[in-house]
Structure 1
Amino acid sequence: MDSSLFRYIWKNSRGEQIFLLLVILVSLPFYWISLEVPKQIVNDAIQGRAFRDGHATATLLEWTVSLPSYLGGAKLTIFKGLELGQMAFLMGLSLWFLVLVLINGAFKYYINIQKGILGERMLRRMRFDLFSLLMRFRPEDVAMVKPAEVASMIKDEVEPIGGFIGDAFIQPVFLFSQAATALLFIIVQSFWMGLAALVIVLVQAIVIPILRREQLRLGRARQLASRQLAGRIGEVVETASSVHSYGASPYVEAEIGDRLGHLYTIRADLFRRKFAVKFLNNLLAQVTPFIFYAVGGYFALQRQLDIGQLVAVIAAYRDLPPPIKDLIDWDQQRQDVAIKYEQVAAQFSPPHLLPRNDEDAGLPVPSPDAPIEIVGLTVADARGTALLDRVSTIIERPARVALLGETGGARDVFARVVGRQTLAYQGSVRIGRGGDLADYPDGLLSRFLTFLGPDPSLHPTSIRDNMLFSVRRRTPEVDGEAADEAERWRLLEARRSGNPLVSARADWIDYEAMGIAGPEEIDTALLRALDIGGAQEDVYRLGILGRFGPDQSEEVLERFVEARHQIRARLKEKGLSNLVEPFDPERYNMSAPVGENLLFGVPVGGRLAADGLAADPFLRSILEAEALLEPLIDIGLRLAEMAVETFVDLPPEHPVFERYSVIQPSDLERYKEIVDSVQARGSAFGLSASARSKLLAVGLAYIEPRHRLGLIDGPFKQRVLRARRSFRLYLPAHYAAEVEFYDPDRYMRAAPLRDNILFGRIAYGVANAQPKVITLIRGVLNELDLDPLIYGLGLDFEVGKAGKLLQPMQRAKVALARSLVGHPEILVLENALAALSPSDAEAVLPRLLKEFEGRTLVVTLAANAPTAGFDRVILFEGARIVTREVVEPALSS
């Protein structure tokens, strides 16, 4: 960023600034005339000066251009004007004054609108420039940046700078020209009154800025304290788990309270200073009218100033204080935003930046056999301790290289350097005859090198979008002749703002790097990468648990209904019908909860889901009619008693909770209170409505084969079936959209794909029921060629913030697969397999080695790890390489 705010503004908006300055110059004659007309109205029309000496008419709007006497004094009449009587003359002058007011208002409106647009356009440019600079920070510099502070600077701190940009040149010229015009007009009418106005103006222009210096200092302190507060809050959010784990919430709250108190003190002092200066400014502004009324009235009584001139002077002065005050405010704003700009620019001006992301960087893409040459490589930590000490080696390519050593030691630092994640090094790292690795811009580097570290972070989008992110690097062509008006406007504004012309909605995917012809082959390529990374089965399972969107065609859904019938027939054919208990309108499903048996459908909204079902008045009326309400509350009480007795001393993460308990660990204390209350009363009838609803919710979740309390008998089932029929028969019209009822011949969009395919529940208590059923289901789906649709649904799974909706091993597998999608010539894995289980890592590594035959793979491994399949092994001890072993070809076959 340019160190000077005004230079930055002028460089990027000089054309618009000059145009608006010309508009201001054009507006000044109209402003002068609008000051002159009130004098004519009073003197010529009302007092009748234009009608003296017997003149019955006066000329209105005569436009004549006269040359000076020394040039001959010739006159050129442009418009002879209108001859009008006194009343018509008065009305004409008044209308002319109204027209001038409208013209001056139109000028102000246009100038302000254009200033605002210019400011917003430059704010957009500045934010983009800052973000572009952030993208050029070296990885180690990015690690030192607090995300909350950087986001606050780009979003909030430059906001007032953007508001000032439109005023930077236009506002002082506009305000000064108006003030100077009004002051000159006053001096022309009366020198002494003009001199008095000038003195007051000079006092305001000199004294007020001096008093505001402390205000500016406080403003800087406020900005710094606010930024530090935002950074600290961001840190607390990022480390929330440790704050809760160590019970440090009171301390953290006290710390934030101290920071808020410090910020309050600064803001309160600023508030007092601000309004003290404002009071003085207003006082000085009101002194001048006193002088005008007193001195101007005196001159009028002495016949040294006529009434029209006095009125015109007072009218002109009315327009004088606002621009002077606004000029003073502008000067304060100038100093304030200049300081803010300097602070922001300093934060975005590290000593080293990555090269600009320009494909034409003058560096070649290394050939697949160009060696990696490392000479005198030295890396030190912040204390100066050598992490790598004068390391020199050559890695011939293609090769599969194992880096052995201690985790976090020289091995990992070496991998980060080769992967271009550490650039604060001495020495050189070159690939073939190209420049140093640090000289390559990201766009060029990503065409042949990919790095994956131990803490992969996914974007809060789908698995598919996350994987395609690694190949969204082919800049699309910009359609300069777009037919769409909105697109043409977007391109124009992007060009004016210095933003990219190409939209993120365009197709950025590098199909050539993926090794495919077009979009129709994307999922195939992604699934291949997922298979190598060990995540294909995870994606399949996520697809089975997913739901199709409303845009999915009925024809596709009908294929899954067909699969449902074939699965049912296949189970019967193989004598496995006892493994699945299907949904039947006339039967109670023992493997499903009581609530699901009652509803016999899938809740669409929240009203009939979970606790909402227990609290719903319509369902409760059905339960009361079938004498099921109290029995279900009793079942809930039995389950609560069992949970309190069994689980109260277990940690929340204990697997027994997930398997047997319908009560969440966080709710266990509340249910203990309910159980204690019932035992004290001897009955559940005296419980509060909320406690009864909680017990009912637990009772509705009861599954006999799972909880095995022997509470479901034949009569109970019959009552549930009657309640099921009544619920559907008497369902109110406004409930229709709340539930999608089970139908053996229809696909249920609200239900997961697994429930639609199975249309029932796997029986509890039958040995190996689940793997047998899953194997059969997968066989049928494969025969019907439905696997691609399931994988597609899995790829659509939203991973959440930083991929938190995936398990850690799943995140690591997806990240690994993402690094493979673009078929990089060099892939560097620094502890990327550490997040996998030992068995998964052992399965993935051979697939990676096979995939990178003819390419270069660099993997960090433990010092004692087996190295079969690698072409080269480099062992690190301390900060040096101690062994450079070329593995025999037999091992790599």
Structure 2
Amino acid sequence: TIGDNLMMSLRTSPKTVLWDPKQRDKSAIEGARAGNSLDSTQAVWLDPGLAGLDTIEDINDWWYELVKSVDGEDVMFQRMVTDRINPKERPKLAAEIVALRGEVYEKLKEKGLDKVVHRFDPDKFNPALALGGNLMFAAPLRNISQAGLASERRFLSMIIDQGLAEQGVAISQTLVETLHQTFGRDGTDHPLFTALGIDEELYEQLVDIAMRRRNKGDAALSEDEFSLLLTVPFAFTAEQIGPGFPETFKQEILAIRKHQGAAMREMAKDLFVPISPENYLPRLTILENVLYGRISAVAGLQADLVMDLVLEIFKEHDLQKDVAVTVFDVPTSIAGANISQSFQERASFSRAAIKRPDILVFNQSLAGQDAEGFRRLRDRLGNLLPEMTQIYLDDHFSHPEDFDIFVKIRGGRIDGVAQSETPNQDDSISDDLRRKLRIIAGNEMFGNLDPRNQRLLAFAAQWFPVKKGEKIFSMGQPADAVYLCLSGKGELYWTETNGTKLHISSVEAGRLIGDLAVIMNEPRQLDFSATEDSQFLRIGADQFRSVIENDRVILLSLLRTVSGHLTGAAELLRAAGLHIPREDAKPNPPVQDSQL
């Protein structure tokens, strides 16, 4: 299971001695014969003390803190809320989920999301529930395969006695033929087919049975083949079957449920559990249990809204962690093929960190984290494990100055070492450059630049203080620099021929001004003045162009900025009272989009 993987580092030796005088533990016998360890795999190996903890509950709490450190709590919840739990193993959680059903339904109605959930109703046919569940208004107690259901003669006799065999087989025939026309014999590896959950060998067998029945009738089928074909509707929902599931058949099923449902549930109590508000349904997911229903197959984006609502309610009741830790019970396939890459990365991280190591190395892991995500991770791990050394290996770091030591390796050789240090107050030049670099790196537009280009911009930048009322540039002047506002405020305005000033936009700290004019190498299109004492960083036009022309990150950022300005340019012009000329009129001077 995932839990076995996560706890591997806390299982270094057996903590109990297995009492096995009759030598029923075959692994020990085989281990001795093979010359391997005689330690029993049946003994208790888990040692919370290796992580400085006392109980399994302590381990769960500590693991969840680690998950939160990589912003993984919501990811873990969304993964596990769509999975199943065994209510016998987690009775408290199952009871709490059942208790939330009413609250969840009321919130769904408030948000208008109840329409995309097929809630269980004893008087209605549920298109998201398989035929067997609809017939008895019950849910499976365990996983029942079609072959297994076909061998349940008593259950199938009950279906035949209720007069459902003829129409049930007809539905099966239509569905199998439709699947065959859609996927053929060689399309069983398609994701749409695998999503149906049909075993490939069983599918081929059903196709053969359906084709033989089409050509020669029911007489060509053995009793086992007829039974297997009859189980097909029990493996699918009306939504999956689609138009092939007739409305009349739904009404027949409801009529039988009304009169014979209780008797059928009693007869099949070893296979099904009654659907009722007080019962947890073990073969349904946590999400389906708390919804007391299933999300419609055509819910689309509203399914995400339902998930968000459920997550919010679980958080309010402090159940998010209880759902997340059920991940320990999930079985894993070979190489973790049933687990997403993102999920595997978080699991690997928490397995390594759970034992509170002295050194933790991230070798190009958690690749989805952006610069801010890495910063949060380092800070949180630093708080959780203040004595631990963190080492990160990657081919690029957005903010190398954030690390205590930054080592660059090129071609297997160390190509440079930088070490963070407290700025020397006497070294005014390096201190000045560091201040500029921090400002450049912290700016939204420049934050994702290559570190070398950030340093180049910082080197080229000059402090540019401006007094209130002072003009920074005027319309028609050459674009000789860009200006990054650090403090204070400014105003961009249009000056008409009669001297009237038309306000275009206010400029506040963090905003870059004049960049498009520099890129286009065109004169300024607006006037720009300070409305209060302000401080800017001024970067010369040639230096600015030399950096952005070699970094596609900032080019894309500028493109997005300009696109946003273009989208609202007409509205801003109208709001400013500017005349927008006709196509045949002489146009006014263009407005610099970046300044808007």
| TM-score, normalised via structure 1 length | 0.40
Q: How does 1:347-358 map to 2 (within 5 A)?
A: none
Q: How does 1:267-286 map to 2 (within 5 A)?
A: none
Q: 1:504 to 1:679 in 2, by over 3 A?
A: closer
Q: 1:688 to 1:699 in 2, by over 3 A?
A: same
Question: Counterpart in 2 of 1:883?
Answer: 416
Q: Deviations over 1:671-708 (max 9, x none)?
A: 44334434433x45533334433432323334333443
Question: Counterpart in 2 of 1:550?
Answer: 88
More helix by share: 1
CA distance in 2, matches of 1:642, 1:749: 31
Q: 1:532 to 1:737 in 2, by over 3 A?
A: same
Question: How far is the alpha carbon of 1:847 from its aligned partner?
Answer: 3.8
Question: Counterpart in 2 of 1:573?
Answer: 110
Q: Are 2:139 and 2:272, in contact at CA under 8 Å, matched by a contact in 1?
A: yes
Structure 2 residue matching 1:876: 3-state secondary structure: strand
Question: Counterpart in 1 of 2:491?
Answer: none
Pair 1:521 & 2:58 matched: yes
CA distance in 2, matches of 1:723, 1:571: 31
Question: Counterpart in 1 of 2:208?
Answer: 673
CA distance in 2, matches of 1:769, 1:576: 7
Q: Deviations over 1:61-99 (max 9, x none)?
A: xxxxxxxxxxxxxxxxxxxxxxxxxxxxxxxxxxxxxxx
Question: How far is the alpha carbon of 1:808 from its aligned partner?
Answer: 4.3
Question: Counterpart in 2 of 1:698?
Answer: 232
Q: Are 1:633 and 1:695, in contact at CA under 8 Å, matched by a contact in 2?
A: yes
Q: Deviations over 1:816-870 (max 9, x none)?
A: 1121223333212334x2xx6x5357786444333455653222223x5645444
Report the AA paired with residue 860 of structure 1.
L
Question: How far is the alpha carbon of 1:595 from its aligned partner?
Answer: 2.5
Q: Deviations over 1:720-756 (max 9, x none)?
A: 1233356644349774333211111333456443332
Q: 1:727 to 1:592 in 2, by over 3 A?
A: same
Q: How does 1:185-584 map to 2 (within 5 A)?
A: 461-463=1-3, 465-471=4-10, 505=44, 508-510=47-49, 513=51, 520-533=57-70, 535-544=72-81, 545-550=83-88, 552-553=90-91, 557-584=94-121
Match of 1:585 among 118, 122, 134: 122
Structure 2 residue matching 1:693: 3-state secondary structure: helix
Pair 1:775 & 2:308 matched: yes
Q: Are 2:142 and 2:283, in contact at CA under 8 Å, matched by a contact in 1?
A: no
Question: Counterpart in 2 of 1:849?
Answer: 378
Unaligned runs of 5+ in 2: 22-36, 422-433, 443-596
CA distance in 2, matches of 1:471, 1:828: 18
Question: How far is the alpha carbon of 1:765 from its aligned partner?
Answer: 1.7
Match of 2:184 among 648, 664, 667: 648
Question: How far is the alpha carbon of 1:771 from its aligned partner?
Answer: 0.9
CA distance in 2, matches of 1:735, 1:781: 34
Pair 1:785 & 2:318 matched: yes
Structure 1 residue matching 2:160: 3-state secondary structure: helix
Q: Which has the larger radius of gyration?
A: 1
Structure 2 residue matching 1:884: 3-state secondary structure: strand
| Aligned residues with identical type, % of pairs | 22
Number of positions where the alignment pairs a residue of Structure 1 with one of Structure 2: 403
Question: Counterpart in 2 of 1:603?
Answer: 140
Q: 1:721 to 1:803 in 2, by over 3 A?
A: same
Q: Are 1:657 and 1:665, in contact at CA under 8 Å, matched by a contact in 2?
A: no
CA distance in 2, matches of 1:670, 1:504: 44
Question: How far is the alpha carbon of 1:567 from its aligned partner?
Answer: 1.0
Question: Counterpart in 1 of 2:551?
Answer: none
Question: How far is the alpha carbon of 1:576 from its aligned partner?
Answer: 2.4
CA distance in 1, matches of 2:233, 2:265: 24
Q: 1:605 to 1:780 in 2, by over 3 A?
A: closer
Q: Deviations over 1:850-891 (max 9, x none)?
A: 3455653222223x5645444444333444333334479867
Q: 1:806 to 1:599 in 2, by over 3 A?
A: farther
Report the AA paired with residue 353 of structure 2.
L
Report the AA paired with residue 703 of structure 1.
T
Q: 1:772 to 1:688 in 2, by over 3 A?
A: same
Unaligned runs of 5+ in 1: 1-460, 487-497
Structure 1 residue matching 2:417: 3-state secondary structure: strand
CA distance in 2, matches of 1:610, 1:846: 51
Question: How far is the alpha carbon of 1:578 from its aligned partner?
Answer: 0.9
Question: Counterpart in 1 of 2:221?
Answer: 687
Match of 1:636 among 172, 179, 182: 172
CA distance in 1, matches of 2:190, 2:46: 47
Question: How far is the alpha carbon of 1:652 from its aligned partner?
Answer: 4.0
CA distance in 1, matches of 2:267, 2:280: 22
Question: Counterpart in 2 of 1:760?
Answer: 293
RMSD: 4.0
Q: Deviations over 1:514-552 (max 9, x none)?
A: 5x6765433221012123345434532454323244254
CA distance in 2, matches of 1:722, 1:843: 60
Q: Are 1:535 and 1:814, in contact at CA under 8 Å, matched by a contact in 2?
A: no
Question: How far is the alpha carbon of 1:475 from its aligned partner?
Answer: 11
CA distance in 2, matches of 1:633, 1:840: 53
Q: Are 1:548 and 1:793, in contact at CA under 8 Å, matched by a contact in 2?
A: no
Q: 1:737 to 1:518 in 2, by over 3 A?
A: closer
Report the AA paired with residue 546 of structure 1.
R
Structure 2 residue matching 1:646: 3-state secondary structure: helix
CA distance in 2, matches of 1:609, 1:509: 40
Q: Deviations over 1:434-493 (max 9, x none)?
A: xxxxxxxxxxxxxxxxxxxxxxxxxxx442x533443457998x99xxxx9x9xxxxxxx
Q: How does 1:127-206 map to 2 (within 5 A)?
A: none
Structure 1 residue matching 2:100: 3-state secondary structure: helix
Q: 1:761 to 1:685 in 2, by over 3 A?
A: farther
Question: Counterpart in 1 of 2:29?
Answer: none
Match of 2:256 among 723, 729, 732: 723
Q: Are 2:13 and 2:45, in contact at CA under 8 Å, matched by a contact in 1?
A: no
Q: Are 1:594 and 1:702, in contact at CA under 8 Å, matched by a contact in 2?
A: yes
Q: 1:470 to 1:663 in 2, by over 3 A?
A: closer
Question: Counterpart in 1 of 2:484?
Answer: none
| TM-score, normalised via structure 2 length | 0.58
Q: 1:861 to 1:653 in 2, by over 3 A?
A: farther
CA distance in 2, matches of 1:702, 1:573: 31
Question: How far is the alpha carbon of 1:773 from its aligned partner?
Answer: 1.4
Q: Are 1:603 and 1:738, in contact at CA under 8 Å, matched by a contact in 2?
A: yes
Q: 1:732 to 1:593 in 2, by over 3 A?
A: closer
Question: How far is the alpha carbon of 1:760 from its aligned partner?
Answer: 0.9
Report the AA paired with residue 88 of structure 2.
P
CA distance in 1, matches of 2:381, 2:263: 65
